[in-house]
Every structure is written in C-alpha cells, then in structure tokens.
Amino acid sequence: MSVVKSLSVGEGDMFYIQHLSDSFTIIDCCLNEGEEQRLTREIKSKSSGKGIKRFISTHPDDDHIRGLEYFDDEMSIVNFYCVRNEATKEDETDDFARYCSLRDSEKVYYLEQGCQRKWLNQSDSERGSAGIDILWPYTTNEAYQGALSEAKKGKNPNNISPVIKYTITKAASFIWMGDLENSFMESIKNELVLPEAAILFAPHHGRDSGRVPQKFLDQMNPRIIVIGEAPPRDLEYYPGYDTITQNSAGDIIFDCQGKKVHIYVGNGNYLVDFLADEHESSYPNYIGTLNLS
C-alpha cells in the first residue's frame, strides 16, 4: 500500500508520500502558526521506520517553505532536493535563510529532467526505488534560464518549479507542477512532452494564473485534477475534468492499492459523484474509489 496525502494548510502547499519502498517523501512545507507541532508530529509518525526520508522543495516562496526552520530543527532533514538556483529575497525570513542553507549544503541534490539517483528512481540490493521521476526542468531551456535569473534578482521564483511524477508500478501515478504559471507553461509547451498521470495537482494552487495548457492536459489525460487552496475567485475549475477542490475537501488522502485509489477527505460533508463506492473505511470520510483498470 502506498499513500499520498495533500495537507490542507490554507493558501499553501504541503504533501507527503508513504512509499511501498523503504522511503518517505515530503514535498514543500507550509506550517502556519499554531499548526507546526501537529503537522510535524503527524509526519514524524508516518515516516517512522522508513530508512530514507527526503524533502523536495519546488521553489522558495513563503507559502511553500513556511515553517521550514522549525520543520528542519524537528526532523533533521538530511536529503534536501531542489533545482540548482541562486534565488534571493529582499526581505529574508528565517525560513528562507534555512532554505538557502540547505540548498547550498552537502545535503542537497539538484533536480533536473531525467536525473537518476539511488532510491529516488533507482533500486539496488539494499532498497527499492521510490518511483519519483523529474520531468522538468531542461536546464538549458531559455525560458527556464530566464526564470532562474529573475529568482536570483529577488523576483518571483514560481517558474523555477520542477515537474515531478510519482509512479506506483502498474498502478496510480501523480504529477506535481509547483507554482508554474500559465504564461511560462505556454512558452515551453512545444519542448516538453508529459506522460499520462491519473492524478494531477494543479499548479499555483489551482489558480487561473497557473492554468495548465490544453496541450499538456491532453498529454497527461488526468482522471482527477486536485485544485488547491486559493481564493475561489482566482481558481480555474477545469471544466470537462473531474476535480477535487481542497478549499472544500480539506486534507485529501489517496490510498493506493493495486489499480484502485481509495480517496478520503477531511470534510465529512464533502461529496463527489464520479467515484465508485466500494465502502472503504481505512481512514475517516471516504468519498469513493478511482478504478484504473
């Protein structure tokens, strides 16, 4: 069994993956005041017993690194993943300072399209692959180089976000796109070819400013698009696709068992009409099952 959880953290992003292998992955960090202990305690509990614990940072905006200093102090991050960058901030927070410290340390591994790393996407006799592949960035791409330059100047770092795919062999797959913006994705859509994925986490928290180009949607053919937490007036609801909106759903758990993904949410009143009812009860507030076969 593999579990992917999208945490409801307000207008920010934070996810974790309990892998089938001896790995546990956290993607981004948004610990709001008063929630630091509860969420960190949950992640400590869920990652207990895993030999490899990795933290992937998509980009250093506050809503993706909030509470990173606290989290690092509590979890002692030893495997930190990000794109190679020199992002700066005019108003440097303690969390951004910790991001830079990790980014520039010996604990870092820099992400780029097709990168190979033991236990991230390679297996050996000691442990299996986590099933995580990096689909973007192409580091020589002109638009991407421009995004790195903007981030170095202290400007918006959204478009340095990598595209990450997690695949469970012969079963579910998930794609994250950080906070990539629509205009940037439009500029690279003829260079980047994306694979199919059952579940897509809409970039930029589901905002219209991060609307995924139709060309990418056609390639990924997502069965479900998760729309993140942002003001409703700013959201793109992706008509024609089945969606789960985290503003209303709260926490979302994807319990992956073979070719079935059993889905649970934090809000007991949240309902959708596109999932099969298989009467699961591993977690509270089951809303249905996505069948992939």
* Assigned token pair, 255: 């319990």
Query: What are the phi and psi torsion angles at 172 (to 5°)?
Result: -70, 155
Q: What is the pLDDT of residues 42-99, one digit of tens each?
A: 999 999 999 999 999 999 999 999 999 999 999 999 999 999 999 999 999 999 999 9
Q: What is the pLDDT of residues 191-236, one digit of tens each?
A: 999 999 999 999 999 999 999 999 999 999 999 999 999 999 999 9
Q: DSSP for 25-85, please give it.
A: EEE-EE--TTTHHHHHHHHHHHHTT-SEEEEE-S---HHHHETHHHHHHHH----EEE---
Q: First CA to last CA across the chain, in angstroms?
A: 17
Domains of the chain and any CATH numbers: 2-291 (3.60.15.10)
Is the pTM higher than 0.75? The answer reads: yes
Query: Using the 8-state DSSP alphabet, how is residue 284 labeled?
Result: S
